[in-house]
Amino acid sequence: ADEVKLDPWGSSTIADYRKLFEQFGIEEFDAVLPDVPNPHYLMRRGVIFGHRDYDPVAEAMREGDDFAALSGFMPTGDPHIGHKMVFDEIIWHQQQGADAYGLIADLEAHAARGLTWAEIDEHARSYVLSLLALGFDPEEGELYRQSENRELQDLAFELGAEANASELQAIYDFDGETNISYMQSVVTQMADILYPQLDEPKPTVIPVGPDQDPHMRLARDLAARMRYFGVTEAFASFEAQPEERPLLRQAYDAREEYAEDPEMPRCGEAADWLRDHEPASADARESAVEKLTNAGKEPLRPRTRIFDRRATDAAFEALIEAVDGEKRVYDEHVDAFDLSQSEAEEIARQVELDNGGYGFLPPSSIYHRFMTGLTGGKMSSSIPASHISLLDDPADGYGKVKSATTGGRATAEEQREKGGKADECPVYELYAYLLSGDDDEFATEVYEECVGGERLCGGCKEQAAELMAQFLEDHQEKRAEWEEKLDELDIDLDT
Ligand code: SF4
């Protein structure tokens, strides 16, 4: 059933999301889907519709390399079926081999939403219980509260040194009245996003709703800003081990020959620097001359690649080591050596890492669609009938589904004739996002029966309501089991 691709969303919804692709550079998930081994049903069904830089995560999954997944929950109320999607995304990545992290954003809840610590304690516990009940493995993964995590706060402090107030103001609509702890909770959140890479850089995915994208952009930006640390030290380390870099030598030697060429100002700079610091070996010089003779047959322009790729990269690496880390010089060299921005960033990252810096990889993200509220419109925690809490009594959950808005026609007759509008039906969404689980065939069947007029809303809702009540019952049983074991786990849940 893997090849079944549902398209349960109307074109108008797609158009809304398209803006995100165009304006913010979020990419369509479909493009990366074939590279994901055993994609989750939310991926297969297009509920996860977008991503930013997910390719390295998919690659790590395929290759069995280290990668991580992290998401945070602000404990402002009870976890509901919208949160379940994010729980599932974390758990699925954990099952695919990720280091998985679930964090409670208690500092944010306190600073941004004004919750008391007693309220936060209660909700924090509840989020953790649902995450565990849905399958998070606490032995393999890490659960933490922001306020209890010292390493996280140290990292937040470092990241805060790279951000400034007017920037946060622009991104988050802060103004002069915004309290300082709120800003602190933002840098803490940036630290959360980079936290899985603290010991070792690795591809990291943050599953979020599209409204969280500004956090991702800032975190990616801050990760890059950390990269300019340690460049001076990198220079020293390069000098200490020149023999390990024969290609670099060649590249330098070759560039030296062009030092006089007014078309190649950057190469001239490289050569000047090299002359001052490191006489080339005879062999390297010879090989460079050979390369130059070959290259000389072609007219040379500043952006022409004349050496093999590794040599160019290595040369660039040494150049950023040689400069004092100023962004301006960095950009000029990116230009002079015709590297793509990401290639150049990768080199800079390596330099930083070699020298005791963080070497963060830009964090990746995936974006899921929001569930429609059961009453139509947005699903909102503040409108109980619009959502189903994971703590709702199964009978209440049943009742909410039974009273949900549908995409049905005015009469049964019309429905048989024209079919229902599953694309616009919150009940269908429940099937696709939750009730069908991994069973694509079942989800497809519901969809096709609906649009084909074979399925009527009364029976359809009855079936959904029963499945929902069953889900809630099972989930709450598992929560109760974890409740008993929770104290044995090494998670600091109370303030
Ligand atoms: Fe929605 Fe089911 Fe009615 Fe179709 S039949 S519109 S899926 S409730």
| Ligand 1 center–CA 458 separation, angstroms | 8
| Residue 211 and residue 276 in one domain | no
| Residue 252 and residue 176 in one domain | no
Amino acid at 199: D
Question: Per-residue DSSP letters for 402-421?
Answer: HT---S--SSHHHHHHH---
Question: Per-residue DSSP letters for 51-64?
Answer: EES-HHHHHHHHHT
Q: What are phi and psi of 53, to 5 degrees?
A: 60, 40
| Ligand 1 center–CA 87 separation, angstroms | 26
Instruction: Look at residue 6 in the predicted model and tell me its pLDDT.
Output: 30
What are the tokens at 82? Answer: 């919208």
In 3-state terms the chain splits into helix, strand, coil percentages (rounded to 5) of: 60, 5, 30
ipTM above 0.85, yes or no: yes
| Ligand 1 center–CA 47 separation, angstroms | 18
Instruction: Look at residue 33 in the predicted model and tell me its pLDDT.
Output: 95
Instruction: Look at residue 470 in the predicted model and tell me its pLDDT.
Output: 98
Instruction: Look at residue 241 in the predicted model and tell me its pLDDT.
Output: 44
| Ligand 1 center–CA 222 separation, angstroms | 46
**Residue located nearest, by CA, to atom 3 of ligand 1:** 457
| Residue 306 and residue 450 in one domain | no
Amino acid at 85: M
Low-confidence ranges of the chain (pLDDT < 70): 1-20, 227-356, 490-495
What are the tokens at 230? Answer: 């340690």
| Residue 266 and residue 391 in one domain | no
Q: Which of 455, 462, 468 to mutate to test the pocket of ligand 1 (most atoms within 8 A of CB)?
A: 455
| Residue 325 and residue 456 in one domain | no
Residue 408 CA: nearest ligand 1 atom is: 6
| Ligand 1 center–CA 106 separation, angstroms | 39
Which one of 338, 368, 398 terminates a domain? 368
The answer as to whether 5 is a domain residue is no
Contact residues for 197 (Cβ-Cβ < 8 A; gap 6+) = 68, 204, 358, 360, 361, 363
Q: Where are the alpha helices (DSSP H) in 134-245?
A: 150-160, 165-172, 180-194, 213-225, 231-240
**Residue located nearest, by CA, to atom 7 of ligand 1:** 428
Please count the other Cβ atoms lying within 10 Å of the Cβ belonging to residue 402: 16
The answer as to whether 374 is a domain residue is no
Tell me the C-alpha distance between 8 and 218, whole Å.
32
Which one of 306, 340, 368 terminates a domain? 368
pTM of the model: 0.77
Which one of 341, 368, 395 terminates a domain? 368
| Residue 69 and residue 179 in one domain | yes
The answer as to whether 3 is a domain residue is no
The answer as to whether 310 is a domain residue is yes
| Residue 151 and residue 191 in one domain | yes
| Ligand 1 center–CA 457 separation, angstroms | 5
CATH number of the domain bearing residue 58 = 3.40.50.620
Helix (H) or strand (E) segment spanning residue 68: strand 68-73
Quote the number of domains for the chain. Answer: 3
| Residue 49 and residue 154 in one domain | yes
Q: Which of 401, 406, 421 to mutate to test the pocket of ligand 1 (most atoms within 8 A of CB)?
A: 406
Contact (CB, 8 A) for 89 and 69: yes
* Tens digit of each residue's pLDDT (9 = 90 or more) over 255-296: 444 444 444 444 444 444 444 444 334 344 344 334 434 443
**Residue located nearest, by CA, to atom 5 of ligand 1:** 457
Q: What are phi and psi of 278, to 5 degrees?
A: -155, 105
> Of 351, 357, 358, 359, which Cα lies nearest the Cα of 234?
351
What are the tokens at 102? Answer: 């679930």
**Residue located nearest, by CA, to atom 8 of ligand 1:** 457
Tell me the C-alpha distance between 1 and 89, whole Å.
20
Residue 460 CA: nearest ligand 1 atom is: 2
| Ligand 1 center–CA 397 separation, angstroms | 18
Q: Which of 372, 428, 444, 456 to mutate to test the pocket of ligand 1 (most atoms within 8 A of CB)?
A: 428
What burial letters (b/e) apply to 234-247, b meaning 16+ CB within 10 Å? bbeebeeebeebeb
| Ligand 1 center–CA 79 separation, angstroms | 26
The answer as to whether 1 is a domain residue is no
Instruction: Look at residue 174 in the predicted model and tell me its pLDDT.
Output: 81
Radius of gyration of the chain from its Cα atoms, rounded to whole angstroms: 27
Contact (CB, 8 A) for 464 and 401: yes
Residue 447 CA: nearest ligand 1 atom is: 7
Instruction: Look at residue 164 in the predicted model and tell me its pLDDT.
Output: 87
The answer as to whether 103 is a domain residue is yes
Bridge partners for 143 per DSSP: 102
| Residue 299 and residue 415 in one domain | no
The answer as to whether 251 is a domain residue is yes
Sheet order of strands, 142-145 included: 27-28, 48-52, 364-368, 204-208, 68-73, 99-104, 142-145
Instruction: Look at residue 161 in the predicted model and tell me its pLDDT.
Output: 87
| Ligand 1 center–CA 44 separation, angstroms | 21
| Residue 185 and residue 109 in one domain | yes
Question: Per-residue DSSP letters for 244-295?
Answer: G-HHHHHHHHHHHHTTT-TT-HHHHHHHHHHHHH-PPPHHHHHHHHHHHHHH
Amino acid at 351: V
Bridge partners for 365 per DSSP: 52, 206
| Ligand 1 center–CA 3 separation, angstroms | 24
The answer as to whether 344 is a domain residue is yes
CATH number of the domain bearing residue 448 = 1.10.240.10
Residue 431 CA: nearest ligand 1 atom is: 7
Which range of residues forms the domain containing residue 16? 11-227+362-368
| Residue 78 and residue 192 in one domain | yes
| Ligand 1 center–CA 393 separation, angstroms | 24
| Residue 413 and residue 394 in one domain | yes
| Ligand 1 center–CA 370 separation, angstroms | 19
Q: Which of 418, 461, 462, 463 to mutate to test the pocket of ligand 1 (most atoms within 8 A of CB)?
A: 461
Please count the other Cβ atoms lying within 10 Å of the Cβ belonging to residue 322: 22
Query: What residues are in contact with ligand 1 under a 6 Å CB criterion?
Result: 406-408, 420-422, 425, 427-428, 450, 455, 457, 460-461
Tell me the C-alpha distance between 191 and 279, whole Å.
43
Length in residues, the chain: 495
Instruction: Put residue 338 in one of left, alpha, beta given phi > 0 → left and psi -120 to 50 → alpha.
Output: left
Helix (H) or strand (E) segment spanning residue 476: helix 457-485
Which residue reads 């694509």 in tokens? Answer: 440
Q: Which of 450, 454, 467 to mutate to test the pocket of ligand 1 (most atoms within 8 A of CB)?
A: 450
Contact (CB, 8 A) for 71 and 207: yes
